[in-house]
Chains A and B, each alone.
Chain A
């Protein structure tokens, strides 16, 4: 897989959410992931972007969302940072608990964790950073490993 590093600084708008999803879809497809995995990656990025725009930056026009894509030989790593007050991980309910099943929100982080191989969430007082990793399991990874 060809190495790549791109970075975007985006406004805290709904357009950013769509743009992040579309960019993730394109880069995942270019990276050789199959259609289902491309969908998973783009959806995880969309959910992370929603969290950044809506819950992190609260649509504040002064605050930005930073979106980084890094493609290495074995991984696609996507990092999304907001400038909000920092996500309180302890306050995220389990959306699969019976008492939460009929809640209308609270599934975003769960979906992100379901779709990605690794998820790191680092909240701080100056914002939240979420790092999403998808491993390459396809032929390109095998070829690379075989040549090492």
Chain B
């Protein structure tokens, strides 16, 4: 593959990684069931999903680009689904709160003033605990999380493939090297959106999704810088 195309793949993957964070529901206050979303910071959760994506993509390294991208997206989405399932089980049977979207119940959803779940049409308002901003991961949030997982895994696999195709020309250990570099790029890109999200997001039905262009632009700049470094490594490096 042309080195320049590999570099563009790295940049595109980095931007996708940044965008994916907006879709994955996460909130630190979720640990106390005081807010909708998985109970951790958005960037850390996205990083976990991305790492799962990079790992599963690396298994399909020999199968070609399409299979590898699909494998990455599948692995990442699977990780998100399992996390959401576990979180919902703990919320429902441990804490005793039903999954409910706080933003939708408070009429702050991006789709307008409806208090119903967009996908199932279930009423959200009666189930929300007063004084909290929702709890658990209801259907619309889960679907958004899965979309985020797919985007993130796709981005991670793209970065991995880009770095691998650049490194494989000069190093026999290209797979492990590019895994580490891809994880680094993923981490750098998924912390930037966390600045826009300010600690919590409910996924694509949260108003914060409207701030995605800012994330897009900043991830584009940072990914370009990193891709340039990696490109120059591949072009000017001696034998390792």
Partners in one complex: no
Interface residues of A (CB under 8 A from B): none
Interface residues of B (CB under 8 A from A): none
